[in-house]
Amino acid sequence: MKHNEIKQLLQLSLFGELKVEEQLILKEHLVSCDECRRELEDQKNLMEIISTRKKVNVDDKMLSAARYQLRGALRAEKAGRSVLSGLKENISQFFTTPIRIAIVSVSILLFGILIGALIFRTSTTPVVDQAENTDQFAMLNNDVRISNISFIDSDPSDGEVEFTFEASKPVRLRGKINDQKIQSVLTYAMLNEQNPGSRLNSINAMDTESPAHLDPDVKNALITVVMTDNNPGVRREALKMMKKFPYDEAFKKALLYVVTNDTSSGLRIEALNSLIEAGKQGYKLNQNELNLFKQQLQQDKNNYIKLKARTILQEYN
């Protein structure tokens, strides 16, 4: 084996990627080769140095935050998809009868003529101009929110600027809480609305409805809010509402998360009470969860929580 190949084996050996026969070859070679022995030491030192790179690990808090953001993104993705699939469905339905096919054929022909006429005309840039498009500007009344302004031409030396922006208009909706669409908007608000008051209102609004009439997504959203919302008031309301749903594994995990991670002692106590209640009804924690629980609760500064902890460990044992 060439010296260079041996050096590669050295590197692979440090990664634990050598086959048995390669290990033997390397071992034999190292006995007789000073240079490779030095090289091996050198590589070990290098790996040691490289291991000092900043340590970054994913903790539960980061993972929960990432999941929370993902939920929002998936909701937006699903909303976009349902609009597209509805459109697709309508189009495919439209193409099912011969008369419609005929209408579409004529439309395509007319469209072709129109395109031809446009191609042979002098082209104009499709830019909204203030003087020529007063209607477009009339749309920008007080109701419209403008955001994400991005300049295409910010140089005013020629007296003009050009930019793009997004204009959104508030939508007013009135409906019954048991309406799935209303629930969908409120769930979205509960997870994504910036204003904690709005998040709280969304939870309280749905809290008036019986869990049987609520979408399963509502419960999942409540769990996410309980674990990740930065406002303790919102978390508390979400926890109160979550307790109305049947106790299950996801519910238990959320409660354990609150007990071991939440900064508010009131919420930790509330979660503990729920776990005690579940324990009385025969639900059990597994050994790992109990260990985690013991460990965390020994560190808790709140005496009342320590007292409750003893109760819960007795209940579960």
Partner 1 sequence: MELDDTDLILQAQKGNESSFEELVYRYDRSVLSIALKYTLDEDDAKDLYQEVFIRVYRGLKNFRFESEFSTWIYRITTNVCLSYKSRSKDHLRVSIDEDYDDEEKEFSIAQELIYDGSSPEEMTSGADIREIVGEAVESLSPKQKMTFILKHYEGYKIREIAEMLNCKEGTVKKYLFEAIKNLRKKLSPIYA
Candidate ranges 28-36, 47-55, 115-123, 127-135; the one touching partner 1 (CB under 8 A): 47-55
Say whether residue 83 binds partner 1 (CB under 8 A): no
Candidate ranges 71-79, 89-97, 138-146, 183-191; the one touching partner 1 (CB under 8 A): 71-79
Question: Cα angle at 301 between 296 and 302, to 5 degrees?
Answer: 105
Phi, psi of 153 (to 5 degrees): -135, 105
Say whether residue 2 binds partner 1 (CB under 8 A): no
- Report how many residues bind partner 1 under the rule CB under 8 A: 33
Say whether residue 67 binds partner 1 (CB under 8 A): yes
Rounded distance, CA 294 to CA 313, Å? 8
3-state helix, strand, coil in the chain (%, to 5): 70, 5, 25
Which of 31, 32, 54, 281 is close enough to bind partner 1 by CB under 8 A? 54
Which of 13, 29, 43, 273 is close enough to bind partner 1 by CB under 8 A? 43
Say whether residue 11 binds partner 1 (CB under 8 A): yes
Question: Cα angle at 170 between 216 and 176, to 5 degrees?
Answer: 40
Shortest Å distance, C-beta 228 to partner 1: 12
Phi, psi of 184 (to 5 degrees): -65, -45
Shortest Å distance, C-beta 253 to partner 1: 10
Sign of CA dihedral 256, 60, 79, 84: negative
Shortest Å distance, C-beta 7 to partner 1: 9
Phi, psi of 113 (to 5 degrees): -60, -45
The site map against partner 1 for 169-208 (x = CB under 8 A) is ----------------------------------------
DSSP letters of 19-67? -HHHHHHHHHHHHH-HHHHHHHHHHHHHHHHHTTS------HHHHHHHH
Rounded distance, CA 181 to CA 130, Å? 38
Which residues make up the interface to partner 1 (CB under 8 A)? Answer: 8, 11-12, 15, 17, 42-43, 45-54, 56-58, 62-63, 65-67, 69-70, 73-74, 77, 216-217, 220
